[in-house]
Amino acid sequence: MAFWSWSKTAASNATADGTINWAEGQSPSSVNDSARAMMARMAEYRDDTSGLLTLGGTSTAFTLTTNQVFDSLAHMDKAELTIVPNVASGASPTLVVDGLAAKPIRSATGVSIPSGAMVAGTPYELTYFNAAGEFILKNSSGALPNGTVPVTALSFASGPALAGAAGGGNGAALALGAGFNLNGTTLSAATPPQGSFKNLAIKVASNTTVTLAADLITVTDGTNYQTLAFNQTINVGTTGANALDTGTIAIDTWYAIWAIAKSDGTVAGLASASATSPTMPPGYTFKARVGWVRTIHASATLYGTWQLGRRAQYVVGLAQTTALPSMISGSSGNPANPTWTAVLVSAFVPPTASEIKVVLFAQPSTTGSNQIGAIAAPNSSYGAANSASNPPALQAGYVNNANANAVQIAMNIIGAMMLETNSIYYASQAANSGMNAMGWEDNI
């Protein structure tokens, strides 16, 4: 007999267990034997509920030998067991305990656990219910859709993976919801955000080289996804992986920076004049556009720019950037009416930019009365410089000569504005005024 044979009625325990003698009038010599036998029975129960039981059998037909050794399913009713699967569970698994009949493992009455619900090497608590003829997996949320596994089965190393199961990468294939599959570092039949990143940095390193670094970038081949680390140098003076995709470097050209990878996780960088369809080097099928660089007009060399995350900036003194690129200069339009001058942005920010950052500057002359320096706005519907209800987005410089004590103000204003069209707007009365491009934010 065993722990399960003990009765809650004290009088019935005199002969409930053959190894324990608590009968009335027992001999003194049986006391210590009975006490030690009780300790042994409690140790058997302890080890059956503490996670020391490792299953045998297969992923769909598990076997188990307990320390208590149940002699019937009826005697196992409501028994708790803590088990450790030897392999990840398959679909609708069963369990045989102490050679008794196989019974299903379920998350709720009548609901079998899905494939992968139990991971090898992980302890799980079961309770057997003889009336329903089933083991119930405790602390289970019930049926999981489409063969998914609990989030507790996931681990994240170089990329998303499943811990402790056979399969690709360092884990088995995993289905999440309808059509979202994870296998090693590859996500398939799903739409996670292509180009998502952590700690992205794109920096022009020389006249023809660009560094691409990120803790993680998500790349795709159109169906599958990988999230990988990058630390590459791209030479736009050559072609291939970590270079220009095709052709030769040209003047006045925006080059998209791509993170690319092979299916085995090999990574590289790529520069391309295409924002959507770069020419991929042999073996590379995964990609994501993550930024831009541009060549200058005078020669096929790069402007000096840094991009951190989605924000990019011209860096004066780096590569061919001897000064911030001038978008417009001098007197143009009239800030008092106002009369606006449209300024195309295509030479200063890439085609996917969502925002431009500019430096507006002005030093009005000392002649004339109430002369306004320069104003700028994202569209031409903004009002005059002195408007109280609809002032321009940016304004720099003003002089008041209406009396003998002239007041002259010269200033530089840094501002950012969302790109509503392919132009922003400028007006100035001052010859020594203008607007320079400082950077942009990319809509990755």
| C-alpha dihedral, 375 to 377 to 383 to 388, nearest 10° | -80
Q: Considering its fold, how many domains does the chain have in total?
A: 5
10 Å CB burial of residue 360 (0-12, 13-18, 19+) is buried
Of 318, 343, 358, the one marking the end of a domain is 318
pLDDT tens across 242-254, in order?
Answer: 999 999 999 999 9
State the pLDDT at residue 58.
96
> What separation in angstroms does the CA of 133 have from each of 97, 118, 137, 265?
13, 20, 13, 47
Instruction: Give the pLDDT confidence score for residue 157 in this predicted structure.
Output: 42
Strands 303-308 and 267-272: unpaired
Structure confidence at residue 403 (pLDDT): 52
- 175 and 81 in a common domain: no
417 and 338 in one domain?
A: yes
Q: What is the mean pLDDT of residues 407-418?
A: 80
Confidence of residue 430 (pLDDT cuts 50, 70, 90): confident
pLDDT at 106: 94
User: Could you tell me if 343 and 251 lie in one domain?
Assistant: no
Answer yes or no: do 180 and 121 share one domain: no
- Between 312 and 223, residue with greater pLDDT: 312
85-107 confidence digits (pLDDT tens): 999 999 999 999 999 999 999 99
List, for residues 144-156, the tens digit of each pLDDT value: 444 444 444 444 4
Contact 332, 427 (CB under 8 A): yes
Instruction: Flag whether pLDDT at 34 surpasses 90.
Output: no
Q: Give the tens place of pLDDT for each residue, 202-241.
A: 999 999 999 999 999 999 998 888 999 999 999 999 999 9
pLDDT score at 354: 96
Do 350 and 410 reside in the same domain of the chain?
Answer: yes
Q: For residue 111, what are the contacts with CB-CB under 8 A and spacing of at least 6?
A: 142, 143
Looking at the predicted structure, is the pLDDT value of residue 179 above 80? no
Percent share of the chain, pLDDT over 90 = 59
Domain extent for 167: 152-188
The answer to whether residues 213 and 310 belong to one domain is: yes
Give yes or no: residues 238 and 301 share one domain.
yes
Q: Which amino acid is at 8?
A: K
Final residue in a domain of this structure, among 318, 336, 357: 318
- The percent of residues in the chain predicted with pLDDT above 70, rounded, is 79
pLDDT surpasses 70 at 290: yes
Q: What CATH code is carried by the domain that includes residue 403?
A: 2.60.120
212 in the same domain as 172: no
Can you list the positions of beta strands (E) in 262-336? 267-272, 286-294, 303-308, 311-319, 326-329
Helix or strand (DSSP H, E) at 42 = helix 29-49
Q: Are residues 210 and 173 in the same domain?
A: no
Locate 77 and state its tokens: 């009713």
Are 220 and 280 a contacting pair, CB within 8 Å? no
Highest mean pLDDT pick, 99-113, 365-379, 394-408: 99-113
Instruction: Looking at the structure, tell me whether residues 331 and 369 fall in a common domain.
Output: yes
CB contact at 8 A, 245 and 286: no
Looking at residue 142, its pLDDT comes to 45
Shared domain for 131 and 201, answered yes or no, is no
Does position 171 have pLDDT exceeding 60, yes or no?
no
State pLDDT tens for residues 57-77: 999 999 999 988 899 999 999
* pTM of structure: 0.59
Mean pLDDT computed over 297-325: 93
| Range 274-282 average pLDDT | 97
CB 53 within 8 A of CB 72: no
- Write down the mean pLDDT value for the chain: 84
- pLDDT tier, 278 (very low <50, low <70, confident <90, very high otherwise): very high
* 438 and 330 assigned to the same domain: yes
